[in-house]
Structure 1
Amino acid sequence: MKLTIIGCSGSMSGKDSPASSYLIQATGKDETGFERLFSIVCDFGPGAMGHLMRYADPAMVDAMFLSHFHADHCADMVGMQVYRRWYPEGALPQIPVYSPGDGAARTRGLSADDPAETYETEFDFQQLVPGSLVRVGPLTVEAFAANHTVPTLSLRISGPSEEPDLDREVVLTYTGDTDTVASVVEAERNADLVLSEAAFEEGRDTVRGVHLTGLRAGQMAAEAGAARLVLTHLQPWTNAEKNLADARSVFTGEVHVAQAGAVFTI
């Protein structure tokens, strides 16, 4: 399994990165037995559509997952819809889009389309709830409840390792936007890599139930027994070095700050 950071800026796009969006890929067999590369995208915030083109052909994305409907996590769904409907060689096939709530209504609201627009030729919107399991090729995605201001899901993604001598499934957990909560710790349990939001700074941002700090992200990963931690969704005004140091103070595994274009193999 390979993770590519499409965008990692929190709450808005930043000068060096689109807003939250992540490409997860793994090789496996399709329903005919043919071995190929499967690609899923988790979240699709402002700027993600253009940057996705740097790392993968948007026409080859197998499924999309939206952790929640705040615009910094889903605004570029409008761009993907236009790309699929008006592709020069002909409209592209429908792909599944998994999210909490009504994904079609949210996309319609972003695009200001007519209420009769269903996007049924581009997207197959499907609702996820905590406990939902979705299989995409060799990848299995399980949804867990997060602790945010709107319904939000953390995603635990299991799949084949990129390491040829590692004979087991590996786990990537994407927290989505969340504050500390037991359900996300369970999503991170023994994960090989945790991609954790860390928008807030310890000592600066005191409101709870919205975002993690670097310290709280590190504490949750440590409690879960995770192996590696990548901090993401840092707002343009958040001090990445402080959040990195705070996470390292409580988590003994590798800790990194996400950057657009960075690749992590699992």
Structure 2
Amino acid sequence: MLLTVLGCSGSVPGPNTPASGYLIEADDFLLAMDLGNGTLAELQCYCDPFLLGALLLSHLHPDHCADFTALTVFRRYHPKPSRDPKLHRLPVYAPGDAPERFAGAYAPSVKERGETDLSDVFDFRALGSATVQVGPFEVTSRLVLHPCEAYAFRISHGGRSLVYTGDTGPCPQLDELTEGADVLLAEASWTHGPDRPADMHLSGRDAGELATRAGVRRLLITHVPPWTDREAVFAEARQNYRGDARLVELGDTYTV
């Protein structure tokens, strides 16, 4: 599997850095994972968005899905007949209220919100704590701790595995999902401290400790907000994990 970072800024986009978004490739199948502010522009640097095989959305906070509306416009109104979305409705794996939420965001007025239907462009499939086959990938999702319905993913292919935490506080589900993974792509939104809100995000220390408990081969730190000291967060992770650790940057690629 090849992982490409389309965006890695936490909570909001930062200077020249889109919010959360990733592209995963294997066997000529393209899987996008989250599509935060600014990531659709980056995606087009790597592929034609019509070539996506599926989209995974960990949760519906804007920094993880804001560019979905732009993707709708791109797919609905591209002038080339070969780009007709009816020829291939994009499978979208997302929390169960995604169709209504995205219709509301896309509708031209509040009055038309209830009449907006995006099913001509997308094939919505509700996430749950389950394992599904997405192209060549086996995708296991687990409900994690965040102020909204949010999921972490374990993506497996060819005997290798990538775990993406999405946004979450520490929880047993995350430990279960991460056990023995080759790569852990972990959000770390702040440094550790007693004043941090519970059940919301991981600290650098949390991410490092999770990677150590799970015995992962590589830790990738992402989702650090622009108002947070990235190096301080990464230093916490390194203090608690002695394996291969990286602080991801826009455009990075990693082989899993």
TM-score class, shorter: over 0.9
Q: 1:48 aligns with which of 32, 39, 63?
A: 39
Q: CA deviation at 1:106?
A: 1.3
Q: CA deviation at 1:232?
A: 0.6
Equivalent position amino acid for 1:126 in 2: R
Could you give the per-residue CA deviations for residues 139-187 of structure 1, whole angstroms, max 9, x where no partner exists? 1111012111111000000013xxxxxxxx1000000000110101111
Find out whether 1:127 has 2:122 as its counterpart: no
2: CA distance, partners of 1:78 / 1:204: 38
Structure 1 residues 39 and 205: alpha-carbon distance in aligned structure 2, compared to 1, 3 A threshold: farther
Q: CA deviation at 1:231?
A: 0.7
2: CA distance, partners of 1:221 / 1:183: 14
SS in 1 for 2:101: helix
Q: CA deviation at 1:227?
A: 0.9
Contact 2:104-2:116 at 8 Å conserved across structures = no
Aligned residues between the structures: 248
Find out whether 1:82 has 2:73 as its counterpart: yes
5 Å-filtered alignment, 1:172-183, equals 172-183=162-173
Q: CA deviation at 1:137?
A: 2.2
Q: 2:144 aligns with which of 136, 143, 146?
A: 146
2: CA distance, partners of 1:140 / 1:54: 26
Contact 1:38-1:136 at 8 Å conserved across structures = no
SS in 2 for 1:249: helix
1: CA distance, partners of 2:46 / 2:174: 28
- Which of the pair is proportionally richer in helix? 2
5 Å-filtered alignment, 1:183-202, equals 183-202=173-192
Structure 1 residues 205 and 39: alpha-carbon distance in aligned structure 2, compared to 1, 3 A threshold: farther
2:240: which partner in 1?
Answer: 250
SS in 2 for 1:96: strand
Q: CA deviation at 1:205?
A: 5.3
Q: 2:221 aligns with which of 209, 214, 231?
A: 231
| TM-score normalised by length of structure 2 | 0.94
Structure 1 residues 123 and 205: alpha-carbon distance in aligned structure 2, compared to 1, 3 A threshold: farther
Equivalent position amino acid for 1:13 in 2: P
SS in 1 for 2:240: coil
Q: CA deviation at 1:191?
A: 0.7
Structure 1: give runs of 5+ residues left out of the alignment. Answer: 28-36, 161-168
2:54: which partner in 1?
Answer: 63
Structure 1 residues 219 and 54: alpha-carbon distance in aligned structure 2, compared to 1, 3 A threshold: same
SS in 1 for 2:22: strand
Find out whether 1:9 has 2:9 as its counterpart: yes
1: CA distance, partners of 2:230 / 2:244: 15
Structure 2: give runs of 5+ residues left out of the alignment. Answer: none
1:156: which partner in 2?
Answer: 154
Contact 2:220-2:246 at 8 Å conserved across structures = yes
Find out whether 1:108 has 2:123 as its counterpart: no
Could you give the per-residue CA deviations for residues 81-136 of structure 1, whole angstroms, max 9, x where no partner exists? 11111111132321110112221111112223432222112101110111x22212
Deviates more, 1:87-96 or 1:243-252: 87-96
Query: What value does the CA root-mean-square deviation take over the aligned residues?
Result: 1.2
Q: What is the percent sequence identity of the aligned residues?
A: 39
Q: CA deviation at 1:252?
A: 1.3
2:210: which partner in 1?
Answer: 220
